[in-house]
């Protein structure tokens, strides 16, 4: 009888342990979900209180944490996105990013950049377009902010550039060899503007490495047609010794103006589809000074937990 009682007692103990483990697992899971929900709500609150609307000439604001950024039936993990909505409060006309072809649609990722939702581009053929958007020309003043994680190089992050000859217009590319085309080993980030010939361009490239890293990238351009008017910041650090090439840029030969504004590709889609995650894009049609750029960068760094 003694051995039977011991056996029964052991089974009871085992049942209690299993029950406790189950309760703990459920608790941890619920705690994880709660933490994720709080993280998302904090990001949304930071978006609402951000300094972006305080600047004049905000032209585009795409971000991936707000309820209003996507259609509710698409904002689910691993589902394709047809529309990324512009949340710019300064304009009633919205420059939404769209893709109607299911073969080219990027995907919504719920746990994207540091636990926040982001849009995933596959590097094969995913891209979105805002159509022909006025402004941001070769002689325009503008500042660009991008939160992203690139997983390949030689790719277009965002561009307003066509596919004729060498591509007039401008582009942000994940490589340090914007003018050379096809370089995939430099692990740099460049921003450049082009005329219609390969000799008609200006470009700046940051010396910070970016591959497989969460990045807050910023670029400003004073519209002066020289590479000295370009600035680049990576995680709110202004590159004081960037690579500057080309210039002055001539507008006499087919200046840009009628190209699509695209995310993840350039007009023509002949090469360089972006591979990685994108969480936020802001374009302000003004040349912001270092202090103003830093103010927006601090908001983005805090929101996306990027140092």
Q: Write the pLDDT tens digit of every residue in 7-46.
A: 555 767 777 777 777 777 766 656 677 888 999 999 999 9
Q: Global pTM?
A: 0.87
Binned at pLDDT 50, 70 and 90, residue 111 comes out as: very high
| Per-residue confidence (pLDDT) for residue 207, from 0 to 100 | 83
Q: Do 44 and 64 lie in a common domain?
A: no
Provide the angle, in degrees to the nearest 10, between the axes of the packed helices 290-304 and 2-48. Answer: 160
Most confident of 11-15, 58-62, 255-259: 58-62
Tell me which of 49, 67, 86 is where a domain ends: 49
**Could you give the CA distance from residue 262 to residue 74 in angstroms, rounded to a whole number?**
20
Q: What is the mean pLDDT of the chain?
A: 88
- Residue 204 near residue 244 (C-beta atoms within 8 A): yes
Residue 225, φ and ψ in degrees, nearest 5: 70, 10
Q: Do 2 and 143 lie in a common domain?
A: no
- Residue 204 near residue 242 (C-beta atoms within 8 A): yes
- Residue 243 near residue 207 (C-beta atoms within 8 A): yes
* Better-predicted residue by pLDDT, 270 or 254: 270
Q: Please say if the pLDDT value at position 253 is more than 80.
A: no
Q: Do 143 and 36 lie in a common domain?
A: no
- Residue 274 near residue 97 (C-beta atoms within 8 A): no
Look up the domain containing 181 and give its range: 55-304
* Better-predicted residue by pLDDT, 100 or 18: 100
Q: Do 243 and 187 lie in a common domain?
A: yes
Q: Please say if the pLDDT value at position 1 is more than 50.
A: no
């Amino acid at each position: 009888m003694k051995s039977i009682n011991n056996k029964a007692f052991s089974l009871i103990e085992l049942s209690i342990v299993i029950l406790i483990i189950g309760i703990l697992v459920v608790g941890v899971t619920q705690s994880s979900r709660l933490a994720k929900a709080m993280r998302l709500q904090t990001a949304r609150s930071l978006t609402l209180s951000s300094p972006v609307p305080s600047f004049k000439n905000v032209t585009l604001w795409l971000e991936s944490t707000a309820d209003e950024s996507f259609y509710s039936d698409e904002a689910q993990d691993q589902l394709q996105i047809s529309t990324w909505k512009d949340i710019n409060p300064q304009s009633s006309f919205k420059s939404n990013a769209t893709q109607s072809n299911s073969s080219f649609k990027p995907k919504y990722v719920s746990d994207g950049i540091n636990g926040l939702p982001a849009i995933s581009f596959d590097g094969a053929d995913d891209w979105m377009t805002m159509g022909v958007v006025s402004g941001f020309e070769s002689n325009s003043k503008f500042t660009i902010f991008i939160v992203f994680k690139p997983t390949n190089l030689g790719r277009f992050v965002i561009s307003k550039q066509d596919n004729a000859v060498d591509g007039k217009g401008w582009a942000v590319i994940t490589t340090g060899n914007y003018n050379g085309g096809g370089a995939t080993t430099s692990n740099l980030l460049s921003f450049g503007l082009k005329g219609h010939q390969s000799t008609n361009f200006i470009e700046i490239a940051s010396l910070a490495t970016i591959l497989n890293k969460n990045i807050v990238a910023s670029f400003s351009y004073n519209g002066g047609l020289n590479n000295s008017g370009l600035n680049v910041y990576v995680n709110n650090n202004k590159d004081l010794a960037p690579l500057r090439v080309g210039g002055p840029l001539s507008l006499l030969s087919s200046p840009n103006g009628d190209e699509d504004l695209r995310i993840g590709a350039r007009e023509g889609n002949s090469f360089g589809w972006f591979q990685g995650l994108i969480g936020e894009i802001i374009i302000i049609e003004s040349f912001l000074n270092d202090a103003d750029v830093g103010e927006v960068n601090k908001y983005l760094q805090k929101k996306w937990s990027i140092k």
